[in-house]
Amino acid sequence: MAFLDNSGDIILDAVLTEAGRRRMAEGNFKITKFALGDDEIDYSLYNKNHASGSAYYDLEILQTPIFEAFTQVNAGINYGLLPTTATDLLYLPIMKVNELTVITADTRAIASSGSSGMFMVTDSSGDSSAAIRTVLSDNSINSINGNSPQTCVLLETGLNTGQGNVPNGTAANRKSYLAANGLIDSRLVVFYDSRFFNGVKGLAKNSGFSNNGQDNALMSQLILSDGSRASIQSGLDNYAAAMILGIKNQIVQPSSGTDTEADLSVISGPKGIVAAVAPTINPGLDAEYSLYGGETSIGGIDCKFIDTTIFVQGTSTSAQLQIPIRIIKLA
Amino acid sequence: MAVTNYERLDPTNDLTNTRTLLHESIPLTGTIISGTYGTFPDEANIKNYSHGQFQSVYDYPYLSSSANHIFDIAIGFDEGSPLSGSVSSTQESKKINMYNQMSQVLLGYTGSNNTVRKFELDTTLDGSGEMKEALFLNFSRLITKDQIKKGTVSVTLGTGSWAAPFALTKTLTDASASATQGTANTLGGDYGVLYDSGNTARGIVFYQAGLVALSTSSFDTMTDFYSSSAGTSSVGNTLVSSSISASCDSLRHRVQNISFNNTTEINSSIYFCRVPHNKYNHSGNPTYLSSSTIRVKSVNSDQPIAYITTIGLYSADNELLAVAKLSEPLRKDPTNELTLRVRLDY
């Protein structure tokens, strides 16, 4: 009678993060919950066609070398495992930026700037004889007026299964694949650098985003309103959080032709929500341009800029997106 | 980026605190103490100070940044000792001060005159068995850690001639001391008695303070405890007439071996992170999806699978306070329920 193998006992040694050490010194160190992460894992290594059978499907994943613990708070867990209890899900939503020509032409949404992929936010404070927005528009660069945003970066979530693949983008599929499984992000968290922005506008409750079920004509009403400040830790220094609304994305496959809704939506499949991100610049940004940014020339005119990133995360699905932002101002 | 999916830890059922004592064996061979890094008595790992009150022993030439301080050697005697008051004494006040400093810190004051206690070669502190002359070995915190483990101290001294000190040896141990008996508790913590093989008390050891006080009685019968160009001298004459550093040199010359176990006290909180079978089988990792389809599934009836590599411990306001990593990815699917024990040491 052989002994049982008891080597599977899992005891892990934890290391304190910077925040943990600080709290220890302050005397308010108290752990109340835990989360699980898998940041090192590349799930594309899961080989469902391994010739040796199912026991070998995850062989490469299980051999993934794991990093030692980081002590920086932001490097702890970036994505995390999801507490979803359903076991029959085959699809999960993703989040994408909608920069389609029709959308940027007909709505408040803007596209990123050329090959840089960055979204321009203009700082017009101090503009006098020349205006930064004129400089940018002369060069066909879309931008958000960061002093009083009326335009935005438009986001969509949904199952991007691809044109011609099931499930396609019908209203019924939205209901059965997304709504029925709690995969609709009616609220999203936006993390922004509070050194440069003092808030973020999102879509108001009475906004709409839909198409005509017959001829696929866009019917949108994107109304911006202030997002609410949220006390959610981003783990990033200087970052603050705001909560914005996710509006029902009612772009559906029209009867006029399969997948023609791709003219309006970047989600090829059932669509979840649409949301807008329009950051508002901190008034009086000045020294920050030399501290954190640089100088460039647009159309022969000298400008100052700061590059930063806005992070957006769905509260229900944990779908995430990073939006690269360039704040730009006349030099 | 912020994690938004947490599992609560119940402070009653998911947390336990433990205290663990770790012990390391510390062997200090006489060759390090004398002779390895130069010629006696001017070895490069021995540091003498201009104040002349004690001598420091390092494990490497002390001018090197790689050197670690191991222990200090000092000598002293009580002003009531027969050695006190000699006309040929050298640094007498410093030797008396050293004895008093050691005794006032480790034993304190007593009696109607509030006089400093004297070391005793027993655990009764009743005034009998007084040790009025002592050779002190002050071990560094680096090697004693929280305290010396009781019952593990061994000091082997050479009692042969000056030319061949280890032709005869005397090993002193505190074998009668243990965690539960054989020690006395004083201001300076617990101390035990060092006995030779004939069960004669030859010194005492303070466990928390990391200090050994040796009686000169181990060397009483010798006429050449110390030898120099001026001639040989007994241990008593050495303590009286020689400088403190020369007395320390003579003791180093006769230390063959010192060993003990140190103790490190580790307080741990163990968090039982219970991962239910029906949760955390999906991931927010961007590679988890291909065209919004879960990569590890072919049809929706396949089991979802995720792989855990990290556990983050959070405060109530979602601040990451500690991180634990697995050595390899741990598969999580609906058929298994995991309890991950995460230990945080203080």
Mean pLDDT of B261-274: 94
Residue A89 confidence (pLDDT): 92
Residue A259 confidence (pLDDT): 65
Residue B10 confidence (pLDDT): 95
Question: Nearest-CA residue of chain B relative to A159?
Answer: B292
Q: To the nearest 10°, the Cα dihedral for A157, A163, A165, A168?
A: 50
DSSP B117: P
Quick one: what percent of chain B has pLDDT higher than 70? 99
Q: Which of B285, B298, B336 to mutate to test the interface with A (most CBs of A within 10 A)?
A: B285
Chain A CB contacts of B271 below 8 Å: 14, 31, 34
Q: Average pLDDT, whole number, for chain A?
A: 89
Residue B233: closest CA among B214, B246, B245: B246
The angle subtended at Cα B306 by Cα B305 and Cα B312, nearest 5°, is 155
* Angstroms from B2 CA to nearest CA on chain A: 5
CA distance A196 to A191: 12
Residue B324 touches chain A, beta carbons under 8 Å:
yes
pLDDT tens for residues A155-204?
999 999 988 888 988 999 999 999 999 999 999 999 999 999 999 999 99
Mean pLDDT of B111-136: 92
The pairs formed by B98-105 with CB atoms below 8 angstroms and a separation of 24 or more are B98/B53, B98/B54, B98/B74, B98/B136, B98/B244, B99/B132, B99/B133, B99/B134, B100/B76, B101/B76, B102/B74, B102/B76, B102/B134, B102/B136, B102/B211, B102/B213, B103/B78, B105/B187, B105/B188, B105/B209
Which has the minimum average pLDDT: A101-110, B42-51, B161-170?
A101-110
Residue A12 — pLDDT band, cuts 50, 70, 90?
confident
Residue A257 confidence (pLDDT): 65
pLDDT tens for residues A240-292?
999 999 999 999 988 766 667 888 999 999 999 999 999 999 988 989 999 99
Quick one: what percent of chain A has pLDDT higher than 70? 95
**Residue B308 vs residue B3, higher pLDDT:** B308
pLDDT tens for residues B157-179?
999 999 999 999 999 999 999 99
pLDDT tens for residues A203-217?
999 999 999 878 888
Q: What values do phi and psi take at B11, rounded to 5?
A: -60, -20
Question: Nearest-CA residue of chain B relative to A57?
Answer: B296
Contact A60, A47 (CB under 8 A): yes
Q: Average pLDDT, whole number, for chain B?
A: 94
Chain A (98-157) residues lying within 8 Å, Cβ to Cβ, of chain B: none
Mean pLDDT of A129-139: 79
Residue A1 confidence (pLDDT): 63
The pairs formed by B105-108 with CB atoms below 8 angstroms and a separation of 24 or more are B105/B187, B105/B188, B105/B209, B106/B186, B106/B187, B106/B188, B106/B189, B106/B191, B106/B206, B106/B209, B106/B211, B107/B186, B107/B187, B107/B188, B108/B186, B108/B187
Chain A CB contacts of B311 below 8 Å: 12, 14, 34-37
Mean pLDDT of A17-30: 94
* Angstroms from A35 CA to nearest CA on chain B: 5
Residue B273, Ramachandran bin (φ over 0: left; ψ between -120 and 50: alpha; else beta): beta
Q: Is the pLDDT of residue A51 over 80?
A: yes
- Burial level of B90, CB count in 10 A (0-12/13-18/19+)? middle
CA distance A321 to B10: 33
* Angstroms from A179 CA to nearest CA on chain B: 16
Strands A208-211 and A218-221: antiparallel
Which has the minimum average pLDDT: A112-116, A317-321, B83-87?
A112-116
Contact B14, B204 (CB under 8 A): no
The amino acid sitting at A269 is G
Q: Is the pLDDT of residue B117 over 90?
A: yes
Residue boundaries of the structural domains of chain A: 3-67, 94-330
CA distance A150 to A108: 7
**β-pair partners for A297:** A302
A58, A88, A235 ranked by CB distance to B1: nearest: A235
> Both tokens of residue B54?
């004690």
B297 to A90: CB separation less than 8 angstroms, yes or no? yes
What is the number of alpha carbons within 13 Å of residue A284 lying toward its C-beta? 2
Q: Is the pLDDT of residue B106 over 90?
A: yes
What is the number of alpha carbons within 13 Å of residue A45 lying toward its C-beta? 13
Residue labelled with tokens 């949301």: A275
Residue A26 touches chain B, beta carbons under 8 Å:
no
Q: Is the pLDDT of residue A8 over 60?
A: no
Q: Is the pLDDT of residue A4 over 80?
A: no
Q: How many residues does chain B have?
A: 346
Q: Is the pLDDT of residue A13 over 90?
A: no
CA distance B180 to B195: 18
Contact A168, A269 (CB under 8 A): yes
Helix (H, G, I), strand (E, B) or coil at B278: coil
Non-local CB neighbours of A43 within 8 Å, separated by 6+ positions = A61, B283, B285, B287, B288, B295, B296
Mean pLDDT of A208-227: 90
Quick one: what percent of chain A has pLDDT higher than 90? 60
Q: Which of A21, A66, A68, A81 to mutate to test the interface with B (most CBs of B within 10 A)?
A: A81
Residue A258 confidence (pLDDT): 62
* Angstroms from A79 CA to nearest CA on chain B: 5
Largest CA distance in chain B: 101
Which has the minimum average pLDDT: A132-141, A150-159, B62-71, B289-298?
A132-141
Residue B329 — pLDDT band, cuts 50, 70, 90?
very high
How distant is the alpha carbon of residue B346 from its chain centre? Answer: 18
Helix (H, G, I), strand (E, B) or coil at A230: strand
